[in-house]
Structure 1
Amino acid sequence: MALLTLSALDDKPFVRLWRGFLTGRVMVALALLVLQILWQALNHTSEPAALAISLAYFGAALVLRIWKRNAPPTPAIGPQWMVSIGMDLAVVCALQWLQAGGMNYTPLFGLPILLAAVHGTLLLALGTTAVVSLLLLAWAWWLNAHGIGDAAQNYLQGALAGMGYFIVAYLAHELAARLVREQQHAQQSLMTAQLQSEVSALVIQSLEEGVLVLDAHADVHMANPAALLLLGGRHPTAVPFSLTDDTRSAAWQPLVALAQRSFVQGHAQAADVYLQHPDESPVALHVRTWLTPSRTAPGAPPQPALTARANERLCVMFLHDLRAMQARLRTEKLAAMGRMSAAVAHEIRNPLAAITQANALLEEDLHDPAQRRLAQMVRENAERLARIVEDVLDIARVQQQAQLAPDATLALDDCVARICSEWQAQEPARRRVNVALQAGNVQVGFDTEHLRRVLYNLLDNALRHKSPEPDGLQVSTRTTPSGQASLQVWSDGAPLDPSVERHLFEPFFSSQSRSSGLGLYICRELCQRHGASIGYQRLSRPTRRGDVEGNAFTVIFRPTAQSAAPASLFDTFVV
């Protein structure tokens, strides 16, 4: 048997029902008081006890209505029900006993029974009904004892009234329990719908692709930030808005036409469109559309509760930036080329070594200057090919599984100072670098040999682009107040072209014809392997010439307590 729970009683429908019972008790008490006054006035009698009981009942009901209007009692049997049910039973019994020969108050027993059945447990409802039945039988016995009425009729009337109260109590409790179940089901459905709505909104808001939800009238009901950005225009548009009632509607006509074609044909569409706003570059989009199911079943009559606009289908439009898609495809192609190049480079290395050795042996027997120049050209180009092969194989080496990498820590300042000294010692006259170490004794999670490779690549790259000034190349370390350590390599070279900056860390991309384009890519792979990050900025640094703008590459290290992210298993090569 279903029981009424406290959480159910806290719901607004049961609070309103509780207030209804309290208001009904006040009205019944007021009616009793008025009837007592009229009855005693018409019969020219004086019964102060009955009048006092009616007045006290009215006052208690009014106080309870004001004091407990928002606090229904708990359903379980307990002393909390004595204030309401106990008071009703006591008042009805007292009035019935005081005016035995006049008025019949037994129908008023229905109020406490209904109250117990709706707001209490089934046991409380049946217990209250049993008490009332015993009172009715006791009343029949009292009538018989005083010779009032027929004994059989009095007992039969009391028994029938008690049985009727039992039926009413059971039915009222079942209806209340059904209301509780429906209310709980409605609350669960509402919570589920709200959760799904919040999750959907969160997912849509975080998508990189644009999402538009519009109807057949081209009115946009939902748009995520990516969609608003892809729609273009100088000012963002607030949702809801229309794709036809705006100053930018001419540029959005391709989207409107695609949505209308989806509604007419009744199935999804896909197309490449171009949005051209005045004084702006065209935006190339790949658009896909989906149609939501109809709100009503085919052939079913329309629901009166839904308007015509609420019954219509909606078009969900997905907007993809063609430039971003092409960039992803280009990156995937470059990755595939890198994997193939690694395999090819591995096969080239052995024949190239044989060529180099054979040329060295041949060069020992050559005496003609022209022939020696040819042998030197062979040697130089073979060395260049060897460097390119090593760079390509470096990609495979840095992409090995993460468990093969040592999870080491190092003292950043000491390691950077040592590596810079080694790099500078190779060509002291040409390799001049100013080192400013401000990280103190900070430990970072990085392998020493890998940091040497990253720093060597960054220094070699900066050396090629710096000016002849002695302070044109600077290396610095620092820590933030939160303990985040970083390493920066700065040079006073010319600013990078935006087309070059976009592809700095892509493999096989270089602004120089004699470079393999793998140095910065290897730096990024090594940093990611150890949970660090690398980025490029155009920054000003103090020099003896004043503040000078230059190119800065900054490596931000992970905290030593954090484990490095595992390398991808899809780009793993073992050389």
Structure 2
Amino acid sequence: MFASEALAVDPARRQSLRYFNLFRLVVAGLFVVTGRELNLGTEHPGLFFGASIAYLAAVLALGFPDAVRRLGFDRLVTLQVLIDVVLLTAIMWTSGGFRSGMPVLMMIVLAGAGLVAEGRMVLFLAAAATVAVLGENGWRYVVDGTPGDFLQVGITCIAFFGIALVARLLALRAKANASLAEERGEALLKQQAVNERIIRDMRDGVIVLGPDGVVRQANPQARALLGLQGVEGLALDGIDAAFADCREQCCGPDGRLMRLGPARRLLRCRVVEADGDHAGSGDALIYLTDFEDIQRQMQQLKLAALGRLTASMAHEIRNPLSAVTQAAELLRDEKRADMQARLARIINDNAHRIERMIRDVLALGRREQAVPEALPLAAFLQEVVDAQGLRGDAERAIYVLDVEPALTLAIDRAHVHQILDNLLANARRHGSGRPGSVHIWAERRADDRVRVHVQDDGPGIDEKVRAHLFEPFFTTHAKGTGLGLYIARELAEANDATLELLPDGPGAHFVLTGRSRP
């Protein structure tokens, strides 16, 4: 039982007890060897020598690890401190009492007991030392008639409790800090293991580069992308000459496309300084992304989108084509002029619907041909509004334009014309039609981007419709193709701009946001 208890003791307590026993051994040896030179035992030399020998024997007997297994850790500490108190009291009595300095040694013993003992045992040991010192001083006063130093003895006994409690609190604080440090160490090790696993399994290559340009560490993906078995310890420009100026050329958020390594794969190289400040002043992280893989994924997405678009177009074209076919069959047998005109109008309307749909789809192919220019917004918007108001002054009065003459928007002229035509047509269709029902204005943001607003005074857009507004072939208009807003947003993205619907009212509020300069 005692052996298992000894194994369960905190290693820090065992270490403290080991140093405590070493201190006892030194003190007991000094008493035996140089006790007379220290003016100890002057009143009863024989008793002093016997007490010193007993103290040394007790330290030797109880200081070996076997004593812990036989008695148990807490019992051994209590027994040792009680022996210290009893024998130091005896030595104090043989050496002239309180002024011999033994109470100071008792304070040190109680401080050590506070570090290794547990619970209220510390107070018990302090009480035992207090009783022993008070008893020795009282005995000397009663039997020998020596004047007692009760005030100093009382202060010393109070100090016994204070030192024991402070030592115990310090031990508890040290134990708590050690436990916290151990927990944090374990958490840090787990976090480090997780980070290593993430870095090892991530799809991007990661290289840790030292300030001397030598690779400190690289994950398996980096070695695979570069086509090398190992890169640690190699100079970066020795791996590939294209790496020579990567810390200066690849430090942006988008990095730089480069063909690297023996495999000559097209990689996006991005450098991030570890200290976040000056390039070259410390370690740096180099992220390598397989751009060829990204291109393959983009191609697959494009093919998938093209398949969905083709299927949607086939479904959308089938309805007007059926109407054209049916009207043509009826027209062949129809003799009445008014019915012939009606059937011809049906054929014409559905043919135009098919033509608009094909034209809108073809516009998707032109999104990659964007040629941005700094358009003066006020003049350009005026042209667009004038084109919308060709029917007369009443139609022109519907649009209210509020744009500063100095504002410019970096965008392809044909693309923005198509975007605004679509937005203004929708605003005209859903607005009230009163003068000023469509408001167009522009503003420059703090990040030097320009926002063009188009808002009508109509009933607004239902919340259920908002989620599908920019989807292809989704429309609430009976004669619409459902591609207008979808293509408008695609053309905006082709010009590094965004087209979004704001939630505020009244009416629908669209915003086109782009750069002010190319």
TM-score by length of 2: 0.52
**Counterpart position of 1:239:** 232
Q: 1:91 aligns with which of 87, 91, 97?
A: 87
Partner of 1:241, secondary structure, is coil
Task: Select 1:82's aligned residue among 73, 78, 81.
Answer: 78
Is residue 2:291 matched to residue 1:322? yes
- Residue in 1 aligned with 2:52? 54
Give the equivalent residue in structure 1 for 2:10. 10
> 1:347 offset after TM fit, Å?
5.9
Does residue 116 of structure 2 align to residue 123 of structure 1?
Answer: no
* Corresponding residue number in structure 1 for 2:106: 109
Distance apart, 1:200 and its partner CA: 0.9
Change over 3 Å in CA distance of 1:259–1:340 after alignment to 2: same
> 1:271 corresponds to which letter in structure 2?
R
Equivalent residue number for residue 284 of structure 1: 266
Equivalent of residue 180 in structure 1, options 150, 175, 198: 175
Could you tell me how far 1:329 is from its partner in structure 2? 1.0
Code of the aligned partner of 1:229: A
Of the three residues 289, 304, 308, the one matched with 1:339 is: 308
Q: Which residue of 2 aligns with 1:561?
A: none
CA–CA distance in 2 between the matches of 1:69 and 1:257?
A: 69
| Contact 1:137/1:158 (<8 A) preserved | yes
Q: Secondary structure at the match of 2:266?
A: strand
- Residue 80 of structure 1 deviates from its aligned partner by 4.3
> Deviations along 1:118-144, whole A, 9 cap, x unmatched?
223463333322221222111111011
Q: CA deviation at 1:67?
A: 0.9
Change (3 A) 1:294 1:270: closer
Deviation at 1:227, TM superposition (A): 0.2
Residues 39 and 95, structure 2, Cα contact 8 Å, conserved in 1: no
Q: State the shift of 1:46 in Å.
A: 6.6
Task: Using the TM superposition, give the Cα deviation of residue 157 of structure 1 relative to its aligned residue in structure 2, in angstroms.
Answer: 2.4
Structure 1 pair 56/122, CA: closer, same or farther in 2 (3 Å)? same
Q: Which has the higher helix share?
A: 2
**Partner residue of 2:223?**
228
Q: Which residue of 2 aligns with 1:538?
A: none
Aligned-residue offset at 1:350:
8.9
Shift of 1:51: 3.5
Give the superposition deviation at 1:159.
0.6
- Is the 1:22–1:69 Cα contact (8 Å) retained in structure 2? no
Cα distance between partner residues in 1 of 2:88 and 2:105: 7
Percent identical: 23
1:285 is displaced (CA, Å) by 0.7
- One-letter code of the match for 2:126? T
| Cα distance in structure 2, aligned partners of 1:155 and 1:259 | 79
| 1:270 alignment partner in structure 2 | 255
| SS of residue paired to 2:271 | strand
- Counterpart for residue 209 of structure 1: 204
Per the TM alignment, residue 322 of structure 1 is displaced from its structure 2 partner at its CA by 1.9
**Which segments of structure 1 move beyond 4 Å, counting only runs of 4 or more?**
6-9, 36-46, 68-71, 97-104, 344-354
Amino acid at match of 1:211: V
- TM-score, structure 1 normalization: 0.47
Question: Which deviates the most, 116-125 or 323-332?
Answer: 116-125
Structure 1 pair 20–241 and aligned structure 2 pair: CA distance change class (3 A): farther
1:166 maps to a residue whose letter is F
Structure 1 counterpart of 2:80, which letter? S
Measured after TM superposition, the shift of residue 204 of structure 1 is 0.3
Shift of 1:210: 0.5
By how many angstroms is 1:113 displaced? 0.5
Deviation at 1:21, TM superposition (A): 1.2
What amino acid is aligned across from residue 216 of structure 1 in structure 2?
A: P
Output the CA distance in 1 between the equivalents of 2:59 and 2:317. Answer: 100
User: 2 CA distance for matches of 1:79 and 1:170?
Assistant: 19
Per-residue CA shift, 1:339-378, capped at 9, x if unaligned?
A: 3344345568899999xxxxxxxxxxxxxxxxxxxxxxxx
Cα gap change, 1:316/1:11 in structure 2, threshold over 3 Å: closer, same or farther?
farther
Cα 1:318/1:145, change in 2 over 3 Å: same
Match of 1:35? 34
Residue aligned with 1:186, SS: helix
In the alignment, structure 2 segments of 5+ residues that lack a partner are 1-5, 324-518
Relative to structure 1, the CA distance from residue 231 to residue 11 in structure 2 (aligned partners, 3 Å threshold; closer, same or farther) is farther
How far, CA to CA, are the matches of 2:135 and 2:43 in structure 1? 30
What is the CA-CA distance between 1:36 and the residue it aligns to? 4.9
1:511 is aligned to: none
Cα 1:128–1:336 change in 2 (3 A) is: same
Question: How do 1:416-565 and structure 2 match up within 5 A?
Answer: none
